[in-house]
């Protein structure tokens, strides 16, 4: 997936169609959209116009239309550039929607065309008390349940990164290559949390060319490039040390975050979007071609988020849950033939027919999972 700064988080989703808030310039200080009203956002190369920048606390439904010639993304930022919501890969002429719960406070909305790393920001003011705590008992337990999963994956991320960094610093190319996809697997599973920290994510997971002007290319992919393109680890020790330092900070910060049900629903879908826009195209791991490791991890992370919501979905949307389970199983079955021992074959070994088959399964699964956000909003 393409890097922005601050970048993606896995908290996006689709909403049922609702009436649009009255359109304006984005500076309509007297207008205020009620919670739940669909707020129009118009993105272009040099503007990000939100129909109203004054909102009532609660679940916000942003409908983002891209009127520019380049693919764009839409973000909602909280304090410290914490990514609270994101919808990405909005093609020219397309409209995509984002649900995000906002309590009273000040936020920023940003549209970022693919050729711009700066983005265009507008301040959002949210007032009222419509974003209180989760009332449904089954939903109330979803965040803590998922947090246990995050803690386990965070511990694995740190352990595997330590082993990978040790191999890199020892100059052991063969061992570092073997450990690279293993170290990345827990990262890919918990992106809904790990990538919400926009300041660290670009340093850990940025790819060559994704950096701001003057910013160094660092992190996993810097070392991936050295391992597979240069076949040498010369000069990578400082990047390995920095990677481990940043991963340790992510692990510490992720342990303090508990996602709300809507964030979990959006995160489950966003991980599937990760597959469709990066892994299934071979774009994420451009040097190592270890994309199937990432793809499998994204699937596992998405299912973990759905499993945290399972008690609620079983009573509120049992047919949808059955459909999701069936489509998860079909996607896993389509991926299974590409196993290689305890890992996966290289992306380049898959035929176009096999890739299309996987893509079709993921697309169907994503359509089902996209309906979960609306099912848990404001419950």
Cα separations (Å) of 88 from 95, 126, 273?
A: 11, 23, 9
Residues 28 and 95 both lie in one domain: yes
Q: Are 308 and 149 in contact (CB under 8 A)?
A: yes
**Do 166 and 240 sit in the same domain of this protein?**
yes
Same domain flag for 38 and 119: yes
Does 167 lie in the same domain as 24?
no
Q: How far apart are CA 76 and CA 262, in angstroms?
A: 15
d(CA 241, CA 165): 7
Tens-digit pLDDT profile for residues 318-358 = 999 999 999 999 999 999 999 999 999 999 999 999 999 99
Q: Report residue 210's pLDDT band, with 50, 70 and 90 as the boundaries.
A: confident
CATH of the domain at 332: 1.20.1420.20
Count of structural domains, the chain: 2
144 and 120 co-located in one domain:
no
* CATH number, position 38: 2.60.40.420
Are 174 and 90 members of one domain? no
> Same structural domain for residues 105 and 179?
no
DSSP run (H or E) holding 87: strand 83-90
Q: Per-residue pLDDT tens for 254-270? A: 877 778 899 899 899 98
Same domain flag for 179 and 313: yes
Report d(CA 320, CA 308) in Å as an integer: 15
State how far the Cα of 77 lies from the Cα of 268, in Å rounded to an integer: 20
In percent, the amount of the chain with pLDDT more than 90 equals 62
Distance CA 97, CA 13 (A): 7
DSSP 31-67: --BPTTPEEEEEE-SS-EEES-SEEESEEEEEEEEE-
Assess whether 98 and 170 both reside in one domain: no
Are 308 and 202 within one domain? Answer: yes
Range name among 100-109, 126-135, 145-154, 281-290 with the lowest pLDDT average? 126-135
> Furthest-apart CA pair in the chain: how many Å?
63
Residues 6+ apart with CB under 8 A from 238: none
Span between the terminal Cα atoms of the chain, in Å: 32
Final residue belonging to a domain, choices 117, 132, 147: 132
User: Of 82-96, 114-128, 274-288, 338-352, which gets the smallest average pLDDT?
Assistant: 114-128
Please choose, from the candidates 180, 181, 204, the residue with its C-alpha nearest in 3D space to the C-alpha of residue 191: 204
- The dihedrals phi and psi of 112, each to the nearest 5 degrees, come to -130, 100
- What 8-state DSSP symbol labels residue 112? E
Instruction: Assign 234 to helix, strand or coil.
Output: coil
Same domain, 355 and 298: yes
Last residue within a domain, chosen from 132, 165, 197: 132
Q: What would the two tokens of residue 361 be?
A: 């399964």
DSSP state letters, 297-356:
HHHHHHHHHHHHHHHHHHHH-HHHHHHHHHHHHHHHHHHGGGEETTEE--GGGS-HHHHH
Phi, psi of 120 (to 5 degrees): -120, 120
| Distant-in-sequence, close-in-space partners of 186: CB < 8 Å, separation ≥ 6 | 153, 154, 156, 157, 160, 297
Q: Which residue has the higher pLDDT, 189 or 85?
A: 189
Rounded to two decimals, the pTM is: 0.82
Token pair for residue 127? 């007032």
Q: Whole domain around residue 330: which residue ranges?
A: 133-379
Q: Which of 111, 132, 153 is the last residue of a domain?
A: 132
Question: For the purposes of burial, counting CB atoms within 10 Å of the CB of 263, is it exposed (0-12), middle (13-18) or buried (19 or more)?
Answer: buried
Residues 76 and 222 in one domain: no
pLDDT, position 135 = 65
pLDDT of residue 27: 44
Give residue for tokens 């190369």. Answer: 45
């Amino acid at each position: 997936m393409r890097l922005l700064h601050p970048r993606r988080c896995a908290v996006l989703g689709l909403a049922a169609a609702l009436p649009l808030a009255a359109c304006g310039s984005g500076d309509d200080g007297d207008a205020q959209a009620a919670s739940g009203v669909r707020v129009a956002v118009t993105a272009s190369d040099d503007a990000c116009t939100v129909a109203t920048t004054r909102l009532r606390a609660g679940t916000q439904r942003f409908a983002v239309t891209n009127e520019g010639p380049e693919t764009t993304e839409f973000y909602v930022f909280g304090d410290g550039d914490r990514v609270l919501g994101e919808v990405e890969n909005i093609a020219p002429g397309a409209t995509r929607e984002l649900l995000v719960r906002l309590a009273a406070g000040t936020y920023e909305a940003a549209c970022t065309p693919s050729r711009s790393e700066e983005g265009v920001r507008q301040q959002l003011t949210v007032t009222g008390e419509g974003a209180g705590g989760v009332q449904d008992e089954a939903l109330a337990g979803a965040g803590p349940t998922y947090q246990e999963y995050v803690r386990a994956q965070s511990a694995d991320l740190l352990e595997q990164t330590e082993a990978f960094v040790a191999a890199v610093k020892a100059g052991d190319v063969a061992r570092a290559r073997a450990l690279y996809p293993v170290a990345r697997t827990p990262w890919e599973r918990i992106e809904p949390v790990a990538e919400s920290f926009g300041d660290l994510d670009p340093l850990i997971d940025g790819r060559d060319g994704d950096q701001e002007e003057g910013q160094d290319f660092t992190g996993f992919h810097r070392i991936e490039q050295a391992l597979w393109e240069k076949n040498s680890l010369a000069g990578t020790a400082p990047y390995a040390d920095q990677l481990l330092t940043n991963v340790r900070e992510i692990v510490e910060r992720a342990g303090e975050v508990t996602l709300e049900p809507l964030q979990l629903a959006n995160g489950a879908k966003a991980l599937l979007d990760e597959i469709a826009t990066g892994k299934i195209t071979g774009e994420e791991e451009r040097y190592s071609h270890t994309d199937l490791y990432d793809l499998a991890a994204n699937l596992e992370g998405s299912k973990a988020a759905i499993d945290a919501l399972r008690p609620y979905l079983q009573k509120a949307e049992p047919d949808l849950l059955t459909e999701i389970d069936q489509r998860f199983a079909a996607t896993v079955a389509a991926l299974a033939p590409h196993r290689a021992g305890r890992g996966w074959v290289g992306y380049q070994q898959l035929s176009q027919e096999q890739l299309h088959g996987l893509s079709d399964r993921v697309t169907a699964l994503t359509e089902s999972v996209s309906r979960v956000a609306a099912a848990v909003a404001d419950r």
